[in-house]
Amino acid sequence: MAGSPEKLETEEMKSKHEIPDCSKCKLLEKWKANQTKIVKRKLDNIYKLIKEGKNGKPELLEQAEKEILALYVAAPWEKSAETA
């Protein structure tokens, strides 16, 4: 996506540095990609816990709730967005 916030932020950083292949920008892109993979993996695990919890294992639903809260607390996005 050309208009995605991540892309715009990276392009803004590159223009501020005025260096086409800024190492800080590349590290930021790698970090964001890694964070996305981690969050997707955790969401997959939570989905599996919920699915198994609905099949007669209520303790897994409680564990899924704890995992969701932990994910929300450790979220890589800005906390100011939750008040908006």
The two structure tokens encoding residue 41: 């993996």
**By the 8 A CB rule, do 5 and 13 touch?**
no
Give the total residue count for the chain.
84
| φ/ψ bin of 56: left (φ > 0), alpha (ψ from -120 to 50), beta (otherwise) | left
Assessment of whether the complete model's pTM goes beyond 0.85: no
pLDDT in tens, 33-60: 888 888 888 888 888 888 888 888 888 8
Residue ranges per domain, the chain? 42-74
- Residue 13's pLDDT is 57
Count of H helices and E strands in the chain? 3, 0
